[in-house]
Structure formats: C-alpha cells, structure tokens
Amino acid sequence: MTEVKREVFGQMPQAEGGGVVEKFVLKSDSMKVEILSLGCIIAALETKGRDGEFSDVVLGFDTLEGYMREHPYFGATVGRVANRIAKGRFTVDGKEYQLFLNNGPNSLHGGARGFDKVLWSPQVLPNGVCFFRLSPDGEEGYPGDLKVWVTYTLSGGELAINYRAQTSKTTPINLTNHAYFNLAGQGSQDIYNHEISIEADSYLPVDETKIPTGEVAAVQGTSFDLRQPVELGKHLQKFHLDGFDHNFCLQQAQARRLVARARHPPTGRAMEVHTTQPGIQFYTGNNLDGSLRGKGAVAYPKHSAFCLETQNWPDAVNKPHFPSALLRPGEEYNHTTWLVFNAA
C-alpha cells in the first residue's frame, strides 16, 4: 500500500506570481518520496540500506527559499527540452526559432524559466500524484500550446515517472527528471565508492560546449564502456577523467527495459533505472563546488552526487540522424522511467 499526504511547503514570492507550493509525501513500506508542485521537484527520497535504516539519497534543500535561489536543477522536471540545443536555434516546418541562451552559446533545460521554475497543478492519486500545466505558445521561444502531465506513482521500492504531452503546433520536446543521487545518503562527500553500469554500446562525443558532434561512437575499448559495473573513483582515475556529462545511446525500443544500475556496496543500497527513452545522460556532479548548502546546511562538493537522466538525445532537433524530438498536433508524447530501489 502507498500512503499519499499533501502539505504546504511554502509561498512563492509575489515577483514569481505568488501561489502556494505544496509538498506531496508518497510512502510505502520500503520508501518515502517527497515531491513539490514547484517544478515537480523530487525534494527527498528515503530508502533503506541493508541494515534497515532509511537515508535520504537525493540532494536538495530544506526550504522553498533554497529552491528559489540559483541551483543546478536539483530534483526538477526539466523542459520543454531537457539538455542542450546548439546556439538555442532550430527550424521547424521552414520557420526558425531562437531560444534564450543560458549555457554559454547554447540553450539548456528549457531556457531562462523552464518547467523547473513554475508551479504545476496537482491531482492526488491513490498511489501518487499527477501534475499538469499548459506551456503557452511562445513560452521561452517554443512554438505551440503544450499540455503536459507528469505523474509520480510509488509501489513498494519502485518510483514510476510518466510524462505525457500534446501540442497545438509542431514543437521539440524532451522531458526528464534531474535528481542528484548519492546512495550513501545526501551530504556524503563523494560518489567514488559507487558502482555504476550503463547498458549502452555507444555514446555521443561532445564539443567544448557540450553539444554532440553528431558522431555516434562505440563505447568498446573506451572509458565510456560501462556495460560491466565499474567503481567510479577508480574508473575516473584510471582514465584521467574529470567526470561524465554525456548521453549514452540506448537500444531503440518503446518497451520498458533496464538501462542503468548504481550500487553503494557499504550500505547495500542499489538503484536500477528502467525507461522507454532512447538515451540517458550520465552526469557526475562535475559543476558542484561546495558553494551550495543543501539539507541540514551540508555543502555539496564536486562529485558528491550523480544524475542518470533518461531522455532523447541532446540537440536532436538539429541532428536529423538522431531520434526525432518533434511532437506534432494530434500525436501524444508518452514516456515512462522507473527507479527501482533495493538493498542487498
């Protein structure tokens, strides 16, 4: 059985349009997840270690004020297009669109005020919560009125996140959740003793601004071969890597499949990622620098968390040979990602 509670988390500043931010607490025997109506943010995710003790394994803040300040998308649903669009430009049906540039020369995670920074309308479900919003035509430069539903449901140790969308004009769309995980517990210093594996035979090399070059490169014989579990710290050292921030190309299937696994041997906590998406961005918190203080006023240094963001491939709207990122009127965007937690 899943228990669902709702409570007030805070009040948006008038400058941001006011409005009450609610927190939804989903609880099963083995997990507790807290989700905000601001940005559909996963604010906490508590799961058991092999000792039976619960720990919160996602980075974030104790108060709304933390989320209102500049932060790297902790726990948020990002869109209309997650990841980067080169030069913030794309052409659809012969018309060029220019987006806000918020990541060097590129547009990242939906622009200046993406889906992570707005209030969503919640509806409580027996085992979760469904958030809805209408992203109006022209919002952040994107075409079409886009109706979006993000649904979180909890069953035992499995959190499912379903994304649905419909549009009035052809638009690029790519939705993901940007939770930062540390299976030792949020606030732990690093993720070096985590074991990671990703079921991908290829990945996307990027230029110096993190835009894919267009090449789809084999992982075989490279530092990107994570098909067998690697201990992260040793792997980064062995290949002299600063960290990962890359899209791994998954098997092209609309069906649910296991795509990644993270494990923390000292606590026994493990997380599996299953998805219907064609890609997953593995990011090792390279830009965290200790300047942000999160829950319990703990500093979040570099490599103190990882993200496994299921997604379409970055800049797909400008790369015809990538899986299409376009949603047309009359179609429905519908993807699900499942996060499965256990301890062994």
303 labelled as ligand-binding?
Answer: no
Using DSSP bridges, classify how beta strands 269-275 and 89-92 pair: parallel, antiparallel or unpaired.
unpaired
Q: Cα dihedral sign for 309, 343, 59, 26?
A: positive
Please tell me whether 240 is known to bind a ligand: no
- Confirm whether 22 is a catalytic residue: no
Contacts of 166 by beta carbon, 8 Å cutoff, 6+ apart = 146, 147, 327, 331, 332, 333
Tell me how far apart the alpha carbons of residues 252 and 250 are, in angstroms, rounded to a whole number: 6
Helix (H) or strand (E) holding 290: none
With contact defined as beta carbons under 8 Å apart, do 280 and 250 qualify? yes
CA distance 176 to 45: 17
For residue 238 the two structure tokens come to 């062995």
User: How many Cβ atoms from other residues are within 10 Å of residue 240's Cβ?
Assistant: 7
Choice among 109, 178, 235, 246 that is catalytic? 178
Find out whether 116 is annotated in a ligand binding site: no
Q: In sequence order, what DSSP letters do the residues of 195-213 get, joined into one string?
A: EEEE--SEE--B-TTS-B-
291 class by beta-carbon count within 10 Å (0-12 exposed, 13-18 middle, 19+ buried): exposed
User: Is 84 among the annotated ligand-binding positions?
Assistant: yes
Residue 180 annotated in ligand binding:
yes
> Burial level of 223, CB count in 10 A (0-12/13-18/19+)?
middle
Which residues, 6 or more positions from 268, have their beta carbon under 8 angstroms from its beta carbon?
49, 50, 51, 343, 344
CA atoms within 13 A on the CB side of 161: 26
Of 22, 139, 309, 335, the catalytic one is 309
**Separation of alpha carbons 247 and 233, rounded Å:** 20
Whether 178 is catalytic = yes
- Is 334 labelled a binding residue? no
Contacts for 123 with CB less than 8 Å, ≥ 6 apart: 129, 130, 131, 132
Binding-site residues sit at: 83-84, 178-180, 245
| Active site residues per annotation | 178, 309
Binding-site residues for beta-D-galactose sit at: 83-84, 178-180, 245
